[in-house]
């Protein structure tokens, strides 16, 4: 059933119960905070009360369910029992109430750990911080082209250079790319950066975040049932080296292919369709997505990526062709991207030059050289680790929905032709 049909069905069910889904008034006798503070007196008086707010959590447990109702004053936990409500009313409640979003919980997580929330520009003179094709617009007053941001990364790192040690942004980002089960051109992500940390620290922080969010949803056993089986989110999560993942799943050792043409030939033998604009990084990414991605079901960190895939990440000391980077994969979906940040301005400038060659070759997703960022790096950035997490994808995975459009209120749709 489509989202729209499901919504209409819920409205009809509500109307059948004699409830107006769009009332003109919403009377209440207590706020959530007042009900919580005066609960013992209310219970003794055995009187009915009316609360109003948003339902931000719904957790089923046999013939009972737990729910969190939230208004401006705070949160109130509800317990509903089928024996008390009656089977019909219980089923009505469970079937017609939706769960709210995770953004508030994510903010709480980072605020408690001393991160400072910031805002960076959405309109940028240069689209940087990720490998993606940007949307372009034009500023009339300045008579110049601007880009909708593809990521806030380079601005957040400027803040680290300027003296902040822990920053994060809940950022609306835009990428002029295809639409599928896990991609929408407009999406929300959280990016965060921590000075004096590396990618190992962020793996541990990511595990803490996943546990925090699941417990916030009332999933104390840290397990979610999917069509493919039960996924267990209990840390620690296994780590799988990028190169080893391709050896295990595609039978190709990328270190054996020193020449680009040899890599192209082998990739084609494996059935990978290669565009003429692709460089080594795109081919390696194509092999990974073709042979590895869908096979990772349980939470797993894919670690230590080839340098060609990661122009902003720090090299591994004893493996200069690889960088300190990881992605968290769950149920064949990439949930986050993180690395130890490259803070050497000379190396960063060389990496940007390699990206420029790909741009000139026709790769529209290659990263643009940001000279202002290079200048900022020369002032000195401490050892830093940074990470981006797609919030829409995260909600998609944790609520076991099949398509990212189901968790976005207004997904991009093809306009109807008259």
> Which string of DSSP letters, residue by residue, matches 75-144?
EEEEEEEHHHH-HHHHHHHHHH-----SHHHHHHHHHHTT-EE----SEESS--SSSSPPPEEEETTTTE
The answer to whether residue 346 is domain-embedded is yes
Sort strands 239-241 and 300-306 into parallel, antiparallel or unpaired: parallel
Q: To which residue do tokens 């420029």 refer?
A: 356
Alpha-carbon distance of 169 to 329, in angstroms, equals 22
Token pair recorded at residue 104: 């508030």
Element at 280 (helix H, strand E): helix 280-291
The answer to whether residue 363 is domain-embedded is yes
The answer to whether residue 266 is domain-embedded is no
**Mean pLDDT to the nearest integer, 59-87:** 73
- Name the pLDDT band for 281 (thresholds 50, 70, 90): very high
Q: Are residues 111 and 199 in the same domain?
A: yes
Angle subtended by helix axes 280-291 and 260-269, to nearest 10: 20
The answer to whether residue 390 is domain-embedded is yes
Q: Are residues 72 and 216 in the same domain?
A: no
Q: How far apart are the first and last CA of the chain?
A: 26
The answer to whether residue 220 is domain-embedded is yes
Alpha-carbon distance of 378 to 317, in angstroms, equals 21
Q: Are residues 230 and 305 in the same domain?
A: yes
Give pLDDT tens digits for 218-244. 788 999 888 788 999 999 999 999 999
Alpha-carbon distance of 221 to 120, in angstroms, equals 37
Which domain does 304 fall in, by range? 104-238+298-407
Token pair recorded at residue 221: 């056993």
Q: Are residues 115 and 8 in the same domain?
A: no
Q: How many other C-beta atoms can be found within 10 angstroms of the C-beta atom of residue 100? A: 15
Question: What is the reported pLDDT for 196?
Answer: 95
Whether the pLDDT of residue 97 is over 70: the answer is no
- The CATH number assigned to the domain holding 125 equals 3.30.930.10
Q: How many other C-beta atoms can be found within 10 angstroms of the C-beta atom of residue 136? A: 11
Whether the pLDDT of residue 1 is over 70: the answer is no
DSSP 180: B
The answer to whether residue 292 is domain-embedded is no
Q: Are residues 80 and 117 in the same domain?
A: no
Question: Mean pLDDT, the chain, as a whole number?
Answer: 87
Domain count, the chain: 2
Domain finish residue from 41, 75, 100: 100
Sort strands 166-174 and 116-117 into parallel, antiparallel or unpaired: parallel
DSSP E strands in 142-222: the ranges are: 144-148, 166-174, 186-195
Alpha-carbon distance of 364 to 353, in angstroms, equals 15
**Mean pLDDT to the nearest integer, 389-412:** 80
Alpha-carbon distance of 6 to 397, in angstroms, equals 20
Give pLDDT tens digits for 183-192. 888 888 999 9
Give pLDDT tens digits for 7-43. 677 778 778 877 777 776 667 888 989 988 888 888 8
Q: Are residues 91 and 171 in the same domain?
A: no
User: Which has the higher per-residue pLDDT, 224 or 314?
Assistant: 314
Whether the pLDDT of residue 98 is over 60: the answer is no
Q: Are residues 219 and 339 in the same domain?
A: yes
Number of alpha carbons in the 13 Å side-chain half-sphere of residue 278: 20
The answer to whether residue 128 is domain-embedded is yes
Q: To which residue do tokens 């999560």 refer?
A: 237
Q: Give the 3-state secondary structure of residue 57.
A: strand
- The CATH number assigned to the domain holding 37 equals 2.40.50.140
Q: Are residues 82 and 116 in the same domain?
A: no
The answer to whether residue 169 is domain-embedded is yes
DSSP 353: H
Q: How many other C-beta atoms can be found within 10 angstroms of the C-beta atom of residue 6? A: 10
Q: Are residues 220 and 77 in the same domain?
A: no
Domain finish residue from 62, 78, 100: 100
Q: Are residues 201 and 340 in the same domain?
A: yes
**Mean pLDDT to the nearest integer, 61-68:** 72
What percentage of the chain's residues is helix, strand, coil (to nearest 5)? 35, 25, 35
Q: Give the 3-state secondary structure of residue 145.
A: strand
Q: Are residues 149 and 190 in the same domain?
A: yes
Domain finish residue from 67, 100, 133: 100
Whether the pLDDT of residue 300 is over 90: the answer is yes
Q: Are residues 89 and 129 in the same domain?
A: no
């Amino acid at each position: 059933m489509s989202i729209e049909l499901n919504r209409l069905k819920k409205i009809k069910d509500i109307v059948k119960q004699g409830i107006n889904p769009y009332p003109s008034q919403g009377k209440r006798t207590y706020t959530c905070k007042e009900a919580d503070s005066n609960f013992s007196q209310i219970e003794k008086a055995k009187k009915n009360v009316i609360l109003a707010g948003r339902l931000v959590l719904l957790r089923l447990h046999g013939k009972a369910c737990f729910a969190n109702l939230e208004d401006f004053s705070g949160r109130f936990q509800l317990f509903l029992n089928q024996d008390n409500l009656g089977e019909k009313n219980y089923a009505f409640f469970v079937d017609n109430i939706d769960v709210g979003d995770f953004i508030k919980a994510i903010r709480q997580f980072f605020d408690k750990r001393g991160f400072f929330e910031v805002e960076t520009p959405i309109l940028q003179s240069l689209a940087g911080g990720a490998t993606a094709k940007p949307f372009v617009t034009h500023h009339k007053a300045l008579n110049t082209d601007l880009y909708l941001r593809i990521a806030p990364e380079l601005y957040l790192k400027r803040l680290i250079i300027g003296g902040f040690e822990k920053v994060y942004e809940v950022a609306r980002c835009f990428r002029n790319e295809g639409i599928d089960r896990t991609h929408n051109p407009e999406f929300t992500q959280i990016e965060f950066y921590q000075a004096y940390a590396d990618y190992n620290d962020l793996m541990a922080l990511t595990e803490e975040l996943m546990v925090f969010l699941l417990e916030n949803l009332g999933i104390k056993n840290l397990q979610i049932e999917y069509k493919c089986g039960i996924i267990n989110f209990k840390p620690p999560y296994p780590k799988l080296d990028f190169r080893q993942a391709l050896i295990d799943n595609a039978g190709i050792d990328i270190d054996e292919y020193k020449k680009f043409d040899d890599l192209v030939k082998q990739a084609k033998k494996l059935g990978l369709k290669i565009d003429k604009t692709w460089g080594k990084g795109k081919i390696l990414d194509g092999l990974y997505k073709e042979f590895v991605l869908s096979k990772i079901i349980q939470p797993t960190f894919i670690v230590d990526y080839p340098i060609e895939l990661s122009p902003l990440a720090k090299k591994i000391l004893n493996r200069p062709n690889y960088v300190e980077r990881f992605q968290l994969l769950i149920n064949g979906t990439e949930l986050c991207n993180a690395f130890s940040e490259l803070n050497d301005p000379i190396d960063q400038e060389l990496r940007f030059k390699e990206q420029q060659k790909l741009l000139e070759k026709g790769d529209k997703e290659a990263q643009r050289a940001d000279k202002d960022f290079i200048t900022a790096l020369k002032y000195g950035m401490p050892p830093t680790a940074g990470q981006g997490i797609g919030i829409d994808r995260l909600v998609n995975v944790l609520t076991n929905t099949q398509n990212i459009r189901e968790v976005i209120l207004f997904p991009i749709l093809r306009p109807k032709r008259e």
